[in-house]
Chain A
Amino acid sequence: MNELMNVVDWSRAQFALTAIYHWLFVPLTLGLGVIIAIMETIYYRTRDQKWLATTRFWMTIFGVNFAIGVATGIILEFEFGTNWSNYSWFVGDIFGAPLAVEGILAFFMESTFIAIMFFGWKKVSPKFHLAATWLTAIGASLSALWILVANAWMQDPVGCQFNPETMRNEMTSFWEVATSPMAMSKFFHTVLSAWVLAGAFVVGVCSWMMMRKRNVEHCHRSLKVGGWVGLIGIVLTIVTGDSSAVTVAKSQPMKLAAMEGLYEGHNAQEIVAFGILNPAKTVDNNEDPFLLNISIPYGLSFLATHNIDAFVPGINDIINGISKDEKGNIINTVSYEERIKRGKLAQEAIAQHHAATQSNDAVALDEISKVLDENFKYFGYGYLDSPQEAVPNVPLTFYTFHFMVTIGGYLLLFMALVLFFEYKKKLNDKAKWNKWWHWLAILTIPLTYLCSASGWIVAEVGRQPWTIQDLMPNKVAISDLSAGYVQTTFWIFAVVFTALLIADVSIICKQIAKKSKTDLNVAEF
């Protein structure tokens, strides 16, 4: 069992490593693609060479970043098979479809038109080139759509039914899978947050150049586009964050409770604005969850349900199967002890199904189907040893969630100020606070990256121990490998990705430094 747990841990670590590195590059590709397309559109409409020069400046950075995003992406796709082989069979019927659609519709669009975008300036007409740039940006977003549909399905498995003959879940409604509230919230929240990151990146780079008084005119052009994309992005990210919270409250109440460090829920539940968790608190003791916290009354009830009086269950409530109506009357739901029992019943029924089919025992098959129908939604709980096993890492989920929300609020203010200063022409050489503002803008780049990564940590750590919510825990999803094998590939990828990240950052910095010294009002080929 220890060996098994080690393989699980290393497999998780390897997937997390790949996903984190992948997500360092993808949001900039998603957001910068849109920014470049807007800039080229302005050039196409005005035929102003300055806009062409500005477009090409950002396109160079886009290209460097794009390659490493592609490289880390292929690992993610194949790791579903190499490290999570049981998962691949158990849900491949549903999960594989969005991946195939992604490949056919999005990847080819991206890979075909990016070649024209970079090398087609002198080979195709300006109109065709502009179309290629937009299609590259759209292809990137389409690619994000399908992989996020797949991810959302793991968080909220809808549109499927278990088939005991094939021992797997099978799709019953593609539409339900593709348009589930979880999928829609996740797609828009993620892609729009990428716009914010790219906007912050553009603003930060321009601030660095303005500090050095290089190509100030180009910077003002870029700030306007980057600022607007960033502002629209952050407003819509906050709006979609709200709908994400509602879907999480419905489908993953344990995750929501962990995000808030909430052990005992209440009606009209407050939300923690700032808090320090008590390290001694566990689900088994009565310690106060917080050493310090500042809360907003009714906040969590409103966030989770849009009803300020609603009951929001805490971790212990969920484990014990307790909920309450608006008046505070207790409603019993299914406790985790019960879920584990019912999960085992479902598993036994599946085991009996094969024998009943072989003997063609219709009565037994009817009975088994009934048991399965009643209990299959708790199938995954049958693998758990105790209810406590179903509680995610609360501190990591709590702190990353609050960091994400805090930085998200800051980014709203920041992007609004960027545009205010830009349109009021406050960013000029005479302003004494210019330098401080520019430094703040530069520091906002890493803050935005951390904010973006935090969002993914909340989403993925908060749903542990599930690979597929309620149906398949990690320990059942893995391949039959030794821990040493996965540990070896983990370190190989860690070294390779880190070396490539260093090269990527170095090239981007050198490109910015080099190009900032050229005249970015003149387009060069």
Chain B
Amino acid sequence: MTHYILQNYWWLIISILGALLVFLLFVQGGQSMLIHAKTDGQRSMMVNSLGRKWEFTFTTLVTFGGAFFASFPLFYSTSFGGAYWLWMFILFSFVIQAVAYEYRSKHGNIYGSKFYDTLLLINGIVGPVLLGVAVAGMFFGNEFTVTKANILNVQSATISQWGSAHGLEAIVCWKNLIFGFMVFFLARTLASLYFINNIDDEEVRKAQRKHLLINAPIFVVLFLVSLVLICTAQGVQVDDNGNMATAPNKYLHNYLEMWWCLALLLIGVGMVLYGIGKTLLKPDYNHGIWFSGIGTVTVVLTLFWVLGFNGTAYYPSTIDVNSSLNLRNSSSSLFTLRVMSYVSILVPFVLAYIAVAWHKMDHNKITQHEIDTTDPDDKY
């Protein structure tokens, strides 16, 4: 396979991981909703429902980072070292999440359950919003330059230079924030659908339908605004020789030129809305998470595709267009991408055993009775 094909292939893998990550952010959305639980019993069911899934979100995030590092190391180098505060806040929020589940109900946890629930709340809000901000920066651009020859200059050896705010400016950018809050409300919407599916308790299901009625419309509005902002944003076009130039409405053109991408976007949006709508309209319908979840994955896939395919720089620089990162100038070598592609053959196998494990664990839904009769050390 040629370098060109492998670069596209690895962008596809990154897209899949990114799309799965956005879907799995329902865990964070659920954490942000724990404060709405009316009783300790409800909160316990919700925490335990999420607690059996948090590792998937966490692992997908880690693998997403690892895959980006391996396949497009210049992005890793430029974005992580540049938008330092943005990524540090994201990391910090995920560090506190990991321990919060395990410690919150354990005897001797020193700081008390409420402290750990607060950590879950922080991760539940900060995680989706800032991950959304980070992805929005890929559409709307950031202020950075890349000069590889700097590495020969010991006095100023850093090849990727960024503005002095180092990511803080991305966090306060209104376009990024709209995208970030769109992800946040999507996570909350998916969380409600997940709870309705995973917890066999009438009170919880009733309460979650009410939350869905609030969160879903906010998400839909923010999604439409984000889509308009993306379609009207200035992107960076890359020609066959690797020359880059700014291009108005680049992402809109990408959707129009890649008709299958536009079709999938519409199908994905339709599935998300179908899952939400049917859950709201039919009180005994509990499977909305699967429609909306698959729809979410589909929509996010198309967003990544218009971001990186069709001669597009996926990480535009707003101060030096030639520093923008695209699939050709930021990828690993042909040899490395080829080696990793052999490893990626195992991905379906990994997905298969995750599906089996998920099915076995979720076959019986969580009930109040199960929580009450489970050994305290076996629950969160």
Q: Which residues of A contact B (CB under 8 A)?
A: 1, 4, 56, 60, 63-64, 66-68, 70-75, 77-78, 80-86, 88-90, 92-97, 99-105, 107-116, 118-121, 123-124, 128, 132, 163, 166-168, 170-172, 174, 347, 350-351, 354, 383, 475-476, 478-482, 485, 489, 492, 496, 499-500, 502-504, 506-507, 509-511, 514, 524-525
Contacts and interface: CB of A to CB of B under 8 A. Distances in A.
Given A351-B152, A479-B84, A104 B347 contact: yes
A507 B59 contact: no
Interface in B322-380: 332-333, 335-336, 339-340, 343-344, 346-347, 350, 353-354, 357, 360-361, 363-364, 374-375, 377-378
Given A90-B151, A383-B154, A485-B84, A116 B357 contact: yes
Given A67-B99, A83-B81, A171-B333, A480 B107 contact: no
Specify which of A86, A104, A107, A485 lies most central, judged by the most chain B CB atoms within 10 Å of its CB: A104
Contacts of A166: 148, 333
Nearest to A92: B73
29 contacts: A60-B377, A64-B103, A67-B99, A67-B103, A68-B99, A71-B96, A74-B91, A74-B98, A77-B66, A80-B69, A81-B80, A82-B91, A86-B81, A92-B70, A93-B73, A96-B73, A96-B332, A100-B70, A101-B340, A104-B63, A104-B66, A107-B63, A108-B59, A108-B354, A123-B364, A166-B148, A481-B84, A503-B111, A510-B106
B69 A100 contact: yes
Given A93-B332, A354-B149, A78 B99 contact: no
A364 to B, nearest CB: 17
Contact of B363 (A89, A123, A482): A123
B77 A86 contact: yes
Contacts of B149: 167, 351, 354
B108 A506 contact: yes
Given A82-B80, A479-B158, A479-B160, 15 more contacts: A70-B55, A74-B95, A77-B69, A80-B76, A82-B91, A96-B76, A97-B70, A100-B71, A100-B340, A100-B343, A475-B154, A475-B157, A480-B82, A482-B164, A511-B107
A509 B110 CA distance: 12
A496 B59 contact: no
Specify which of A73, A78, A95, A101 lies most central, judged by the most chain B CB atoms within 10 Å of its CB: A78
Nearest to A481: B84
A347 to B, nearest CB: 5
B309 interface: no
B243 interface: no
A479 B304 CA distance: 27
Given A86-B159, A100-B69, A347 B152 contact: yes
Contacts, number: 283
Given A118-B378, A171-B333, A481-B81, A82 B87 contact: yes
**Residues of B contacting A: mostly:** helix
Given A78-B87, A166-B148, A479-B158, A85 B80 contact: yes
B102 interface: yes
Interface in B263-303: none
Contact of A82 (B88, B148, B152): B88
Contacts of A81: 65, 69, 76-77, 79-81, 87
